Amino acid sequence: MPKTLYTILAIVFCSFTYGQNTFNLKGKVIDEVTKLPIESATVYLSSAKDSTVIDYTITDKFGKFDFKLKKIDKQVYLKVSFVTYDEYKIPLENVSADKDFGTLALKVAINNLDEVIIKKETPPIRIKKDTLEFNASSFKVRPDANVETLLKQLPGVEIDVDGKITVNGKEVNQILVNGKPFFDKDGKIALQNLPSDIINKVQVSDTKTKKEEQTGAAASANTASINLTIDENKNKGFFGKFMGGQGSDKRYESSTLVNYFKNNRKISLLASSNNINATGFSMDEVFDNMGGGRNRSVWIGDNGSFGINGRSFGGNKGITQSNLVGLNYSDEWFKDAETSLSYFYSGANSKNTNRTSLTNFLPSGNFSTNSNSNTNEDRYVHNVTSLFEFKIDSLTTISLEPNFIKSNNKNRNVASQSSFDAANALLNESSSNNFYENNNDSFNNTLSFTKSFKRKGKSLSFVFDNENSNTKEDEIVRSTTIFYQGADPDDVRNQTNNSKNISSNYRAELEFYQPITDSLQVKFGVEYKMDRNRDRRNSFDFDATNETYSIANDELSNVFNSLERTITPNTGLAYNSKKMNFNLNVGTTLINFDNDSEYLNVKTSLEKEFVLPYINTYASYRFSKSKNLWINYNYSYTLPTARQILPVEDLANPLNTIIGNPNLDLNQNHGIYFSYRDFDYATRSGYGVYTGGNFYDNQIVSSTTFDANRKRTTSYENVSGTYNSWFGLYWNKSIKKDGHKYRFELRANNNFGLSKGFTDGELFSAKTFTFNPRVNFTYEYGELLTINPSYNYSYNKTNFSNYVIESASNFIHRLNIQVTSFWPKNWTFGNDFGYTYNSNIASGFKKDFYLWNTSLSYSFYQKKLMAKVKVYDMLNQNQNATRSITATSIRDEENVVLRRYVMFSLTYKLEKFAGKEKKSGGMMWF
């Protein structure tokens, strides 16, 4: 770690000293009449040739501005803009020396109603307090571009190949439309579906909680938020897309997306159905719905899986047929009363065949387990999310965020497995044919009340959260487990298990901020939490006489209850200035933890009390508009579960008996995070470093012993001195010359960890190291050709102490290249080719494979119709063989994946604004 810290400090120091080849442009902006300085005026440089924005800044409270620029060998304009003033413009032949413009006096704009009003130029960039605002019309995009394409043109905004968005190096975690979620706050649907030409402004600010928004407090998160405002002329309209496709091997896809906007009222409907492991409404015109990390309309995993509102589907584990319906509604019912509602229904059927080889490391000798399974799973989820916000007056706000989820999951699993020792002697084998059904109903809500006072920085806030869930599980178990060593009897089961879990969690927080100066505040607060959990399981064996599951099995039936009550009085300081934000909260956490169980007519109770420190602090410093330093520290804890802490046997798994440890202590860890980033707007290039980790004073780990049949008995112990940490860096650079655009990106993520555990009663430790560099290059030739090769390398190694083996390692190569041609006119031809190699995997599992996807589309009828043919897995080689290394085992696994198919589809696009259908022929990218 010391070398890592020295590297970080060296990079930061170098960034401070860098700049000997830059030039300073400075000056002062005042009101022509009053001679008073104008604060927050936008000062920017634009190209004289095409008005492209080169760099920008804003004036400080003294009206001063200061640019630090590299040499510019072309004619540019220095422009000054501020609301209610005429624009000020100075031509410059180049920028090759320092220059002081002295005092620049702005004239108040005078509009005479009797005369023709000349509309002045809107500046491309404005900074309003803590919000960076881009004027969308100042940035050129293709007429058929979507919002994501627009964002890529904005200075400081970057979207990498995984779809992650950063602004000036800060990650974006929230995207809103007119201040409200568009289906979900991650905003991916909005980026892919809204046409860029309806957007008026793109507003970027630090992500704030509801409490921070309403009180005007500085953001505590190290993330950014984007708000898209819709042009008034385009805020009344209807647009949508309808698509259907039929393919080989009975593959199909279909989707519908309809949007209706009328001022504050916005209604959007989406629906899809397909059996190609996809959301069905990817709006990538080239590689839509073909996985491989290319489909980013909602959320996409590395294996091509996708998710909506926390629910995942598809991926390389089986074949999924999915159906989805979503409705989004937002409106202002009356003045100062805003609402947003979203409903999602998602259903899926997945079928998979799995083959696994597992090697377990033991001091008494290794053993291996080979297993096979077939699963058929049906699941659906209804999800309603909402937001209601009421402004009682200019200083008082109440917001309510109720969310409802109802889900069902049915799973049929047929499996078999065999375990062998190092001499290949059979230890045990089992077979099962199980059915499982889970029903969950949950409700969570956040109620926020904030009261600001006339004095800046003085506020009172109250937040109440609740999360209530009711989960019922019904399981039919038909299994046979045979033991070949020792005297253990065979385990034969034909039974039902009925489980019910009721969870109720409540949290209330009261905070009061009192300003000492304009920049310094003192905070007083108290937080109260109550978490109650009840877990009951009833088991019944099959009665062959009356052919019902009616014989109570007391050994598998149990009840566990837990209740946590926590109160945390705390105080703190907050310092916020133009360059620095600092926040410190300290206090004491008092915990009362009650647990009880009932098993075999025996009641067991255990009560514990804890007194812990409460520490949470963060600080950020802005060296300039592009350079930012962030650091935070917090002390946190997690309590064990009732099953972990109560000395009660759980015999549910015939190969693993679990019993709790009443002497178990809680998890306690120190969390640290540090980041530094720098982004140059003029060159659209930058770099960043980050590091952090969790360091445990105390951690709960499992302790497992094995008998001669390798049947396990698992309990829990505490260890100390463990940690998991990470270090990463990234660098990117863009070069634009004439019609050519080049983008280079380098990333490296490293993880270091120390874990401890017990195997057969012996303490071992494992040091893990992961190294994951990535190289990405993009070349664009105008609007005709895009070439995007990338390479990713993953290396994992674990070194053991006091263990049966010394180390284990493997590495993976991933090479990919995308080539997209937009020539000739109306034609789009794309190819996505990838190669994956796994260095170390068990015999019988293929180490490498190729995946080649291709598509060809043609737009016609004023680009309202698009015909398309695509081929997934052209070489028919797609596979899913993975290796995972843990502290106690190596697991090799293979699942069924989607293989080659051909798909023909037709898409129709409709766009009307203000009652008139668009005649420009511009195609929207949905």
**3-state helix/strand/coil string of 566-581:** EEEEEEEEEEECCCEE
Q: Is the pLDDT of residue 699 over 60?
A: yes
Taking residues 19-47, what's their average pLDDT?
A: 84
Residue 143 confidence (pLDDT): 65
The pLDDT tens digits for 112-158 are: 444 333 445 677 777 766 788 888 887 777 666 778 888 877 877 77
Of residues 902 and 50, more confidence is placed in: 902
C-alpha–C-alpha distance, residues 2 and 582, integer Å: 26
Torsion of CA 873, 875, 876, 882, to 10 degrees: -80
C-alpha–C-alpha distance, residues 23 and 395, integer Å: 45
C-alpha–C-alpha distance, residues 657 and 635, integer Å: 34
Looking at the chain, the number of H-run helices and the number of E-run strands are 5, 51
Residue 698 confidence (pLDDT): 95
Of residues 64 and 156, more confidence is placed in: 64
C-alpha–C-alpha distance, residues 874 and 158, integer Å: 31
Residue 281 confidence (pLDDT): 55
DSSP letter (8 states) at residue 17:
H
DSSP assignment of 122-181: PPSEEEETTEEEEEGGGS---TT-BHHHHHHHSTTEEE-TT--EEETTEEEEEEEETTEE
Whether the ω angle into residue 824 lies within 30 degrees of 0, i.e. cis, is: yes
Nearest to residue 284, comparing CAs of 788, 857, 739? 857
Interstrand relation of 520-543 and 548-552 (parallel, antiparallel or unpaired): antiparallel
Of residues 684 and 630, more confidence is placed in: 630
Q: Is the pLDDT of residue 270 over 90?
A: no
Those residues with Cβ within 8 angstroms of residue 2's Cβ, 6 or more apart along the chain or in another chain: none
Those residues with Cβ within 8 angstroms of residue 306's Cβ, 6 or more apart along the chain or in another chain: 278, 279, 295, 298, 299, 300, 312, 313, 314, 315
Q: Is the pLDDT of residue 636 over 90?
A: yes
Residue 887 confidence (pLDDT): 67
DSSP letter (8 states) at residue 422:
T
Buried b (16+ CB within 10 A) or exposed e, 600-635: eeeebebebebebebbbbbebeeeebbbbbbbbbbb
Taking residues 719-746, what's their average pLDDT?
A: 88
CB atoms within 10 A of CB 16: 9
Q: Indicate the range of 408-417, 663-672, 706-715 predicted with least confidence.
A: 706-715
497, 538 contact by CB (below 8 A) = yes
Nearest to residue 155, comparing CAs of 126, 122, 187? 126
Taking residues 202-209, what's their average pLDDT?
A: 85
Q: How large a percentage of the chain has pLDDT more than 90?
A: 48
Q: Is the pLDDT of residue 624 over 80?
A: no
Q: Is the pLDDT of residue 685 over 60?
A: yes
Residue 582: what are its φ and ψ, rounded to 5°? -140, 135
Amino acid in position 503? S
Residue in the structure block whose two tokens are 């640290």: 672
CB atoms within 10 A of CB 512: 15
Element (DSSP H or E) covering residue 822: none
Q: Compute the half-sphere exposure of residue 450: CA atoms within 13 Å on the CB side of its CA.
A: 24
Q: How confident is the model at residue 925 (pLDDT cuts 50, 70, 90)?
A: very low
Residue 111 confidence (pLDDT): 57
Residue 2 confidence (pLDDT): 45
Nearest to residue 683, comparing CAs of 24, 32, 52? 52
Those residues with Cβ within 8 angstroms of residue 151's Cβ, 6 or more apart along the chain or in another chain: 157, 159, 165, 191, 202, 226
Amino acid in position 671? G
Q: Give the distance from CA 9 to its chain's centroid.
A: 29
Residue in the structure block whose two tokens are 């992961």: 770
Residue 168 confidence (pLDDT): 72
Residue in the structure block whose two tokens are 């999915």: 322
Residue in the structure block whose two tokens are 């009652």: 915
Residue 296 confidence (pLDDT): 32
DSSP letter (8 states) at residue 300:
B
Taking residues 179-198, what's their average pLDDT?
A: 76
Of residues 231 and 344, more confidence is placed in: 344
Nearest to residue 645, comparing CAs of 666, 628, 660? 660
Taking residues 603-614, what's their average pLDDT?
A: 95
The β-bridge partners of 332 are 338
Q: Is the pLDDT of residue 306 over 60?
A: no
How far CA 465 is from CA of 471, 496, 508, 860, in Å, comes to 20, 36, 6, 52
Q: Indicate the range of 177-191, 262-276, 516-530, 552-566 predicted with least confidence.
A: 177-191
The rounded radius of gyration (Å) of the Cα atoms in the chain is: 31
Q: Give the distance from CA 552 to its chain's centroid.
A: 45
Q: How confident is the model at residue 297 (pLDDT cuts 50, 70, 90)?
A: very low
Taking residues 472-480, what's their average pLDDT?
A: 95
Those residues with Cβ within 8 angstroms of residue 403's Cβ, 6 or more apart along the chain or in another chain: 383, 384, 385, 386, 443, 444, 445
Residue 206 confidence (pLDDT): 84
Interstrand relation of 165-167 and 548-552 (parallel, antiparallel or unpaired): unpaired
17, 43 contact by CB (below 8 A) = no
Q: Indicate the range of 121-125, 358-362, 607-611, 845-849 predicted with least confidence.
A: 121-125
Classified as helix, coil or strand, 645 is helix
Q: Is the pLDDT of residue 475 over 90?
A: yes
Q: How confident is the model at residue 535 (pLDDT cuts 50, 70, 90)?
A: very high
Q: Indicate the range of 39-43, 103-107, 152-156, 204-208 predicted with least confidence.
A: 152-156
165, 223 contact by CB (below 8 A) = no
Q: Is 705 exposed, middle or buried (0-12, 13-18, 19+ CB in 10 A)?
A: middle
DSSP letter (8 states) at residue 42:
E
Average pLDDT, the chain: 84
Nearest to residue 211, comparing CAs of 465, 454, 403? 465
Q: Is the pLDDT of residue 1 over 60?
A: no
Of residues 708 and 65, more confidence is placed in: 65
How far CA 704 is from CA of 642, 651, 717, in Å, comes to 18, 15, 10
C-alpha–C-alpha distance, residues 411 and 152, integer Å: 43
Q: Which of left, alpha, beta for 667 (phi over 0: left; psi -120 to 50: alpha)?
A: beta
58, 44 contact by CB (below 8 A) = no
